[in-house]
Structure 1
Amino acid sequence: MSEPPSRGPDRDLFRDTWVRYLGYANEVGEAFRSLVPAAVVWLSYGVSSSYVLADAIDKGKKAGEVPSAEAGRSTRVTVAVVDTLVWQALASVALPGFTINRVCAASLYLLGIATRWPLPVRKWTTTTLGLLTIPIIIHPIDRSVDFLLDSSLRKLYPATDKPSSS
């Protein structure tokens, strides 16, 4: 995370604290896929998905607490929940999970044909490469999802309810 966490009442539990790292659980699960049972990987997706849902609910509650007309409140809450849910699902679960999965699969395959290392060494090397890839892909994926949503879904929101980029 390039921005320092904020302090005080503006502090966002899901973006400015250690809780944010729960969103990366599936990436860690994908990195360890060659070493652990599939159920462990699916559990990591459960953790990440729970994080996404909790953040969307939190953003909806916060949007509902802003004083305004009741008709505008409902729209604002809906936009906050949908935007957060879609953004987090793409930026925290789907795209990073797919990317780490493919990096690990490719590295395991390439190590199998390029080296004579024993399978456990190749699997641990693959896991290490997957883990090292996580910090490299975070910001490019986040910015790409911002661009994607700004170019599509966010154009559909009412002008007064557009959320700021995540």
Structure 2
Amino acid sequence: MGAAERDPYRDTWVRYLGYANEVGESFRSLVPVQVVWASYGVATAYVTADAIDKGRRAAAAHTRDPAQATRVGVAVVDTFVWQGLASVAIPSFTINRLCAASLALLGALTRWPLPLRRWATTALGLAAIPLIITPIDRSVDFLMDSSLRKLYGVPGEPPAPH
């Protein structure tokens, strides 16, 4: 991908669809569980679309060299695993536990009515989303560089199309 070419899954508003599940987890105490699961559907669709896009880009870059087809698979797998961990699994678990703990603590430490405690928990969850993104992204980079990426020998981001 050229320097001037924008990645729609990373450089536009579409990237925020990857955070849908964190928003869903933040609202878990206020909405039916089906709404939370729907937020996971949105985030998973984003992750899948990004992985497919990276595979298409890698395939287009290697149309003249079929021996490089492995790079297409690497681009898809790396993107899907990275996004699955950094955009869905780890942040949603983090927000879920933060909200559950805050709701329990507010119940134990305050006399606030339950609706107020639920809204406070939701606000805390939403406020935490921007704070957890960078540490989780960096941790997933480290995890991937220390494990899966060693199998295909490319540290950092998946191989970019030329």
Q: Shorter-normalised TM-score: what interval? A: over 0.9
1:16 match: 11
1:35-50 correspondence runs (5 A): 35-50=30-45
* Identity within the alignment, %: 69
Counterpart contact for 1:80–1:163, Cα < 8 Å: no
1:3 match: none
2:157 match: 165
**Residues 1:114 and 2:85 aligned together:** no
**Residues 1:100 and 2:92 aligned together:** no
Counterpart contact for 2:21–2:40, Cα < 8 Å: yes
CA positional deviation for 1:163:
6.5
CA positional deviation for 1:119:
0.2
Counterpart contact for 1:83–1:163, Cα < 8 Å: no
**Residues 1:71 and 2:67 aligned together:** yes
Greater RCO, 1 or 2 (C-alpha within 8 Å, sep 6+): 2
Root-mean-square deviation (CA), in Å?
1.5
Number of equivalences: 156
Counterpart contact for 2:145–2:156, Cα < 8 Å: no
- Unaligned 5+ segments in structure 1 are 1-6
2:124 match: 129
TM-score (norm 2): 0.92
1:49-68 correspondence runs (5 A): 49-67=44-62, 68=64
1:139-154 correspondence runs (5 A): 139-154=134-149
- Unaligned 5+ segments in structure 2 are none
2 CA distance for matches of 1:62 and 1:120? 48
